[in-house]
Each structure stands twice: as structure tokens, then as C-alpha cells.
Amino acid sequence: MPSIRLKNIRRGQQDYELLWLVEQKIGADKARAMARELIVKAMDEINMDDKVYWPQNGDAYDAMRDKLLDILSK
């Protein structure tokens, strides 16, 4: 049975694969720089009382997916 949690896990796996494919095409440094535009700090890099370092709605993630797919289509 589908759930929001499972959909988010699947989307994260898809995003990982997109970044991996882009890394193969443009190089690891450029792909990581693109990822850091969206996720400035990961969960293991912050304290629990720090501000959130990633977008809270899906628009930014959709825009980044579009950029990644555009790179792959060229």
C-alpha cells in the first residue's frame, strides 16, 4: 500500500540515480556543486537546534530535477 513515506524514499532513490547519471556526464565536482545548491548541509552536518538547510516545499526539488534531466538530454 503506498504511503507518503514510501513515495519519499522512492523519490530519494530516483534523485540519487539522476545525480549519479549527471556525475558520469559532467563530472563529480560539478554534480556535487549542483546538489549543494539545494542541500547546503546534510543532516549529519548540523546540530538539532540549527536552522533547516534545505527547501521545505517541493518546487525547488522539481526545478533541480528539471536541470538534471536537461543535462542528461543533451
pTM here is 0.79
What residues have CB less than 8 Å from 56, skipping those under 6 apart? Answer: none
**What integer pLDDT is reported at residue 6 of this predicted model?**
93
Per the structure, the count of domains in the chain is 1
Report how far residue 32's alpha carbon sits from residue 13's, in angstroms, rounded to the nearest whole number.
16
**What integer pLDDT is reported at residue 18 of this predicted model?**
96
Range of the domain at 27: 4-73
Q: What is the pLDDT of residues 22-57, one digit of tens each?
A: 999 999 999 999 999 888 887 788 888 887 777 888
**What integer pLDDT is reported at residue 66 of this predicted model?**
96
| 3-state SS assignment for residue 72 | helix
